[in-house]
């Protein structure tokens, strides 16, 4: 049995939106969550665990120039900014390069809806990092 302690690194990840790779990406997190709760009947101990709705959410962290690029793409498509683009047309593709025995992995987030972003800076800021939270409808691997 062979063990390999090399994990995927941030540098091994690339993210594409609107057929463009995000060059000024500072971070990306996305998750799938299933609502769960204990199921009770007679007595005070649970007899099972019940599943409910599934929720997909995430957070994109980019430099301000990347946000401007995304907003420009939205304007070119006829929308005011990235928040106005319908979820039906936004897909985020996340690719993790193969290496050290791990295979190429691609995650596809479909039906992405960005919900907010902030603007502004503070004294002595050297750059502007923007967090853009989002919801999405499904997660699949290619």
Q: Going residue by residue through the chain (142 aa), what tens digit of pLDDT does each one get?
A: 444 556 777 788 899 998 889 999 999 999 999 999 999 999 999 999 999 999 999 999 999 999 999 999 999 999 999 999 999 999 999 998 887 777 788 999 999 999 999 999 999 999 999 999 999 999 998 7
Check residue 6 and give its pLDDT.
Answer: 64
Report the 3 state secondary structure along the chain. CCCCCCCCCHHHEEEEECCEECCCEEEEEEEEEEEEEEEECCCCCEEEEEEEEEEEEEEEEEEHHHHHHHHHHHHHCCCCCHHHCCHHHCEEEEEECCECCECCEEEEEECCEECCCCCCCCCCCCCCEEEEEEEECEEEEC
Per-residue confidence (pLDDT) for residue 1, from 0 to 100: 42
Q: Are 112 and 28 in contact (CB under 8 A)?
A: no
Query: Could you tell me which of 94, 89, 104 has the C-alpha nearest to residue 137?
Result: 89
Residue 34 token pair: 């299933």
Asked whether 102 and 25 are in contact (CB, 8 A), the reply is: no
**Res 99: pLDDT:** 72
Q: 105-110 and 113-114: which strand pairing?
A: unpaired
The C-alpha angle with vertex 102 and arms to 98 and 104, in degrees rounded to 5, equals 40
Q: pTM of the prediction?
A: 0.85
CATH of 10-121+128-141, one of 1.10.10, 3.40.1800, 2.30.110, 2.30.170: 2.30.110
Domains in the chain: boundaries? 10-121+128-141
């Amino acid at each position: 049995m062979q063990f390999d302690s090399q994990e995927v690194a941030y540098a091994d990840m690339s993210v594409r939106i609107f057929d463009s790779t995000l060059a000024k990406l500072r971070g990306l997190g996305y998750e799938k969550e299933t609502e769960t709760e204990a199921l009770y009947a007679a007595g005070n101990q649970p007899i099972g665990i019940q599943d409910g709705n599934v929720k997909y959410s995430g957070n994109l962290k980019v430099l301000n120039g990347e946000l401007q690029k995304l907003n420009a793409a939205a304007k070119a498509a006829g929308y005011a900014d990235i928040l106005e683009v319908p979820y039906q047309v936004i897909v985020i593709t996340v690719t993790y390069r193969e290496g050290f025995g791990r295979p190429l992995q691609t995650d596809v987030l479909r039906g992405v809806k960005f919900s907010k972003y902030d603007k502004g800076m503070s004294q002595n800021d050297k750059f502007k990092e923007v967090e853009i939270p989002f919801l999405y409808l499904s997660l699949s691997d290619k």
